[in-house]
Structure 1
Amino acid sequence: MRRRQLIQIAAASLAATGLGVHAQSSNFPNKPIRLVIAFPAGGPTDITMRQLADNAGKILGQTVVVENRPGAGGTLPAQLLQTSPADGYTLAQIPLGVFRLPYTTKMTWDPVKDINYVINVTGYAFGIIVPADSPIKNWNDFVAYAKANPGKLTYGSTGTLTSPHLTTELIAQRLGIQLNHIPYKGSAELSQAIVGGHIMAAADSTGFAPLVQSGKVRVLNTWGAKRLEKFPDAPTLKELGIDIVQNSPFGIGAPRDTPPDVAKKLHDAFKKAMEDPSYVQALARYDMLPDYMDSAQYRRFAQETFNREKALVEKLGLAKPN
C-alpha cells in the first residue's frame, strides 16, 4: 500500500512539472529576451541585428535586448548557450567560427548537437581593402609586394579563425605568399586600424563600405560569385584566377533543450521580422541580403558546414594536436 502511494505521488509530481513547463511555454514570452551577438557595437552585425531584434520584439510583445560579446573568433555567444536555461529567453548569433571550434580547441560540447538552430537570417559579403593612399593600387600590386617581402605585408581581420582570417590565409596558400595577420575584435576596431595606418590591408565584411564611399580606403577584391553592385570595379577572386567563393551565413540559436513550441514561436517572429523593409534596408547598407533557412534547413546547414570547416582548418595546418 505504501509503495503504491509513493508511486502515485511521484507520478502526480511529474505530471504537475510537465503541466508547469507547458504553461510556461504557452505563456512565452512574458519578459524581455536576450540576443547575444558575436561582434562589438557599431559594426554591421550589431547595426543589422539591432534592427532585427527591434522588429522581432514588436511581434513578440517583449523587448529583444541585444548584448555584444566579441572575441574568441565569434564563438562566445554559442558558448553562453551551453550554460543558459533552455527557456527561450537567451538567444545567440551563430557565425561560422562556431563550427571550427572542435578542430582548434578542446571542447566539452558539440556545436551541431548542443544548439537548437532556430533560424538563419543573413550572411556577410567579404573583400580585401587597403588605405586610399597606399602604394598598393590593385591586387597585382598586393601579390607582388607580398612575394618580394615575405611576412611583411600586414593585414587585419575581425579575429583569429574568423572567415576573413581563414579565407585570406587560404588565398595566400594558393598564391604561395606569406602574410602577417593582425587580429582585431570586430569591424569597428579594424576600420580604425586601417584608416589609422596601423596595418597595410584589411580582410572584412563589406561593413567597410562607408570608408570606401568617403575615399579613405580602396577595394582590391570581393569574394562572392559575382561583383558587388556597390563596388563594380572590384574583381572577384574567381576573376583573379583564385577559385574561391566565400560568403558566411549566420543565424540565431537557442539552448539545445528549448521546448519545440517556444523555438517555433521564436522562428515565426524572427522570420516575420526579416521581412520588414526596415531590416532589408539595414542589410543593404552593407551589401547583405536576407538569407532565410527554417529550423530544419538551418540544422542541416550546420552539419554540412561542420564537416566542411574541418577540411579547411586541416588544410591550413591550424587543427589542434591530438
Structure 2
Amino acid sequence: MTRPLFSRRTLALLLAAGFAAGPALAQADRFPNRPIKVLIGFTAGGSTDVPFRVLAENASKILGQPVIIENKPGAGGVLPAQMMQNTPADGYTLAQIPLPVFRLPYTQKINWDPATDLQYVIGLAGYAFGLVVPADSPIKSMQDYIAYAKTHPGKLNYGTPGALTTLHLTMENIAMQAGVTLNHIPFKGNSESLQAVLGGHVMSVADTPGWAPYVEQGKLRLLSTWGDKRSAKFPNTPTLKESGINLVQTSPFGLAAPKGTDPKVVQVLHDAFKKAMEMPNYKESLAKFDMDTYYMDSATYRQYALDTMKTEKVIIDKLGLGK
C-alpha cells in the first residue's frame, strides 16, 4: 500500500500557511465581490454629484457590483480625503479628491500628508469656474463688479462651496489684484449657494457651472469664466484675463483609495473607471456643467498631487491665508 506523501494534518498546515501568506492576492483576485462606495465632498444635485452618479452607474456595469455615491459635504470638499485615513485599504471605499486637498497641510494642522497617505487611482475630469450675479443685478460685467466693490468697501459679498476652496482663494486673489475688499460667504456646496443667490441672500456666487442651467434660463448673469479660453457653452462671456484680471484657474479632480491598497485592486479600479469615463453619457453629463474629462493614470495623478502641493503653497503664502 502506497503511503500518502503528506499526512492530513501536514497537508492542512501547508494549506493554512499558503492562505496566510497570500490573503491580499486572494482578495485581489476576487475583487470586487461587494458594493463599492465613492465619497464625494459636495451636496447632492450639484455639478459634482450629477456627473458622478452617471460615472458610478457606468462603473457598476463594468465591475459587476453596485457603485454607490455618498455625499460628504462641508470643509471645502476635503472630508472624503480625510476619511480615507481611517478607512480599510481594501478598495471598497474611494474618495473624490478636489484641489483643496492639496493645500490642507498649509491651511490647517493635520497628521497626514496628501502626497503620501493616499493611493491615487485615476484622474477623471476638471471643473470649470465662473462668477454669476442675479439677472436683475445692476452689475453687468467684471468691470462693474470691481467698480461696485470700490465704491461700496466690504459690502459686495460672494458665495463659494467653502472657506479655503479654490473658488475662495481665486476670488481673494481677484480682490487683491483689483485693490478691493470682498465679503466671503461660505456654503457646503453649489446647490446651497445657488439657491442663496437666486433668493437674493447673496449678491454673487463663484462656483463650478452648477449655475449653467440658471444662466441659460435667464435667471443668473455670468460675468466671467476662469479658463485660459472662453467657454464653448458660453462663448459670449469673457475670461478673467479678457476682463483685465491676470488669472487663469481650473481644477482637475479624481479618485483615491486608502494608503496601502493592493496594487492589483487599484489596477482593477483604474481600468473600470477609465472605461466608465470614456462612455458618451458621462461626457454628456460633464458638458451640461461646462466640464470635460481630464484623464490621468495612477502614477501621473500621484505626480500631479506632488506638483500641485508645491504651487498651492506659493498661492497660500502670497495671500497670507496659511495656518
Instruction: Provide TM-score, normalisation by structure 1.
Output: 0.94
Asked if 1:30 is matched to 2:42, the reply is no
- Any conservation in 1 of the 2:38–2:70 contact (CA below 8 Å)? yes
Which sections of structure 1, spanning at least 5 residues, go unmatched?
Answer: 1-9
**Aligned twin of 2:174:** 171
Which sections of structure 2, spanning at least 5 residues, go unmatched?
Answer: 1-12
Task: Map 1:1-322 to 2 at 5 A.
Answer: 16-320=19-323
What SS class does the counterpart of residue 94 from structure 2 fall into? strand
Q: Provide runs of 4+ in structure 1 moved above 3 Å.
A: 10-16
CA separation in 1, counterparts of 2:254 and 2:139?
36
Shift of 1:189: 0.3
What SS class does the counterpart of residue 294 from structure 2 fall into? coil
Letter in 2 for 1:183: P
What SS class does the counterpart of residue 273 from structure 2 fall into? helix
Shift of 1:13: 7.2
CA separation in 2, counterparts of 1:143 and 1:265?
49
CA separation in 1, counterparts of 2:64 and 2:138?
54
CA separation in 1, counterparts of 2:79 and 2:29?
30
What SS class does the counterpart of residue 119 from structure 2 fall into? strand
Report the identity percentage.
58
Shift of 1:17: 2.4
Letter in 1 for 2:23: G
Instruction: Provide TM-score, normalisation by structure 2.
Output: 0.94
CA separation in 2, counterparts of 1:168 and 1:34?
33
Query: Rg larger in 1 or in 2?
Result: 2
CA separation in 1, counterparts of 2:211 and 2:273?
26
CA separation in 2, counterparts of 1:14 and 1:234?
66
How many residues are treated as equivalent by the alignment? 312
**Aligned twin of 1:5:** none
Cα RMSD of the aligned pairs, angstroms, is 1.5
- Any conservation in 1 of the 2:143–2:243 contact (CA below 8 Å)? no
What SS class does the counterpart of residue 292 from structure 1 fall into? strand
CA separation in 1, counterparts of 2:21 and 2:173?
51
